[in-house]
Amino acid sequence: MVLIVVTDPTRFRGRGEMGGTAHDFQISPSSWNRFEECPRKYWLSRQRLPRKASMAASMGTAIHNSVEDLCNLDFSGREDEEIGWLHSSCRETLQKRWEEERTLFSETPRHPRWKDESFSVALDGLIGAISILFDKAMLPLEELSSVTVKTWKQVQDIVVETEANLESKCGRLMGRLDLLIKDLEDEANGGLIVADLKTGKPPEDELSEKVSRQLLFYRDIMKENVTEDQDLRAEGWYSSNNTVYRAEGPPILEEAIGAWEMMKLTETPFQATPSEDACSFCEWKAWCPRWWEAKYEGELSQEGMFRDEVVRLVRLDQESGAALFERTTPVGGDGELRGSDHRFGALLKGKSLEKIRQMDQPELDGYLFLGSIMFGGKTARMGDWSEILPWSPLLRSVRN
Ligand code: SF4
């Protein structure tokens, strides 16, 4: 029997519960990580700008939710010896969650094409997560088709909580924990494992700083909610290679509260710290003038098959999607631009062509941010994977 002492019941909440807080804002591991990567990225993420959906994130959520559903499956009235149900349950559960994510994805203002062909990858990810659960329950996993109801109940028995909302004692830190499970290797001490399911690329060696920070954050908030002698471990479960990576390190909450102090939003933008890592997948480039200046000054690479540009549209054939763009030159760090001699042609298809056709004349006459242009052949290409947005550097907060 695992005992979780909840010092304040509002601080460890089951799924779907809500609670108020004495602070006007809270930080989560992902917002803290965003701030550490680039304070401007965090500041922009809080400006209620149109959000961007990503296939990888939606796929991850569908897998997470399916794991939760399977951990909470109700077997009343079913025979313990029943077999042949797990594989179909995985498929049906994932299908339901997949459809939910597809709807949310298409309702997100900025979204690429939904890839139905990725369903089988998601199913593999779900099966990968299940095999880690079997391992943690110290049960051998052979074929899904031969897993009995009784065996799955044994797996369910190690799961203490799924998708739990956590809040620190001080009320400034919050997070959503994927799984809290019994640590069978440390059963005598009532040991627990705080696990975060990762559906992305596993680390080559050890956990990245970001993932490690996130896991230690969960571990230390959970520590406030268990008895002093209960051991807690934090692990990242990578479903694509069925591998568990442990996060270890000193307590982190003090550092998190220090970050919270710095993350109070201001009227003017936080400092931008462009880097290849932070900027490559930053979804706020159309509102951030700094990366374009950094690229111009050679701080960021100008190479690569997929590139982002800030341009002026010179010509567009609405019918064929053939376009001619002029690359701009940044003037200072506030987003002011001037023209250049550098022109390039691009062939627009799919969502890119749809988007540019929908833009009105003043937008087309202004500067444009082009995301993920594929260079390589004679003509650059833009398709479902690319983005076209008006260039809109944000220099004052738009929050009330
Ligand atoms: S584009 Fe780069 S510099 Fe600008 S907010 Fe994003 S991460 Fe920061």
pLDDT digits (tens, 9 = 90+) for 84-129: 999 999 999 999 999 999 999 999 999 999 999 999 999 999 999 9
Residue 217 pLDDT greater than 60, yes or no: yes
- Residue 323 three-state SS: strand
Pairing of strands 329-330, 343-348: unpaired
Lining ligand 1 with CB less than 6 A are 38, 40-41, 44, 272, 274, 278-279, 282, 284-285, 288, 290-291
Tell me which residue has its CA closest to atom 5 in ligand 1.
41
CA distance 391 to 312: 10
Which parts of 203-262 are beta strand (E)? 232-238, 243-247
Name the DSSP letter for residue 188.
G
CATH for 276-390 (3.40.640.10, 3.40.50.920, 2.40.50.140, 2.60.40.10): 2.40.50.140
Report in angstroms the alpha-carbon separations of 237 from 69, 101, 121. Answer: 18, 22, 16
Burial class (CB in 10 A: 0-12, 13-18, 19+), 209: exposed
- Residue 363 three-state SS: helix
| Residue 22: predicted pLDDT | 53
To which H or E segment does residue 353 belong? Answer: helix 350-358
Q: Torsion angle of alpha carbons 361, 363, 364, 368, nearest 10°?
A: 180
CA distance 213 to 204: 17
| Residue 70: predicted pLDDT | 97
Closest ligand 1 atom number to CA of residue 278: 7
Residues 256-269, mean pLDDT to the nearest whole number: 96
Closest ligand 1 atom number to CA of residue 44: 5
List, in sequence order, every residue forming a beta bridge with 167; answer none if it has no partner: 174
| Residue 333: predicted pLDDT | 87
| Residue 297: predicted pLDDT | 94
Residue 5 pLDDT greater than 90, yes or no: no
| Residue 301: predicted pLDDT | 86
Residue 205 pLDDT greater than 90, yes or no: no
Residue 4 pLDDT greater than 60, yes or no: no
Which mutation among 38, 310, 389, 391 tests ligand 1's pocket best, with the greatest number of atoms within 8 A of CB?
38
- Residue 314 three-state SS: strand
Residue 362 pLDDT greater than 60, yes or no: yes
Q: Tell me the pLDDT of the chain averaged across its residues.
A: 91
Domain boundaries, the chain: 9-17+24-257, 276-390
CA distance 189 to 186: 6
Residue 269 pLDDT greater than 70, yes or no: yes
Structure tokens at 334: 């506030």
| Residue 11: predicted pLDDT | 41
129-158 per-position pLDDT tens digit = 999 999 999 999 878 999 999 999 999 999
| Residue 400: predicted pLDDT | 65
Ligand 1 mean position, distance from CA 348 (Å): 26
149-191 per-position pLDDT tens digit = 999 999 999 999 998 899 999 999 999 999 999 999 998 888 9
Question: Nearest Cα to 103, choosing from 61, 161, 66, 41?
Answer: 61
Handedness of CA 270, 271, 272, 275 (dihedral sign): negative
Helices (H) and strands (E) in the chain, counts: 12, 14
CA distance 207 to 246: 8
Which parts of 214-254 are beta strand (E)? 232-238, 243-247
Closest ligand 1 atom number to CA of residue 282: 6
What are the two backbone dihedrals, phi and then psi, of residue 318, each rounded to the nearest 5 degrees? -60, -30
Is there a contact between 126 and 66 (Cβ–Cβ < 8 Å)?
A: yes
Q: How far is CA 397 from the centre of its chain?
A: 24
Residues 74-82, mean pLDDT to the nearest whole number: 93
Residue 72 pLDDT greater than 90, yes or no: yes
Residue 3 pLDDT greater than 80, yes or no: no
Which mutation among 49, 276, 279, 310 tests ligand 1's pocket best, with the greatest number of atoms within 8 A of CB?
279
Closest ligand 1 atom number to CA of residue 275: 2
Residue 2 pLDDT greater than 50, yes or no: no
Ligand 1 mean position, distance from CA 181 (Å): 37
Residues 265-287, mean pLDDT to the nearest whole number: 96
Which fold would CATH assign to domain 9-17+24-257?
A: Lambda Exonuclease; Chain A (3.90.320)
What are the two backbone dihedrals, phi and then psi, of residue 325, each rounded to the nearest 5 degrees? -120, 150
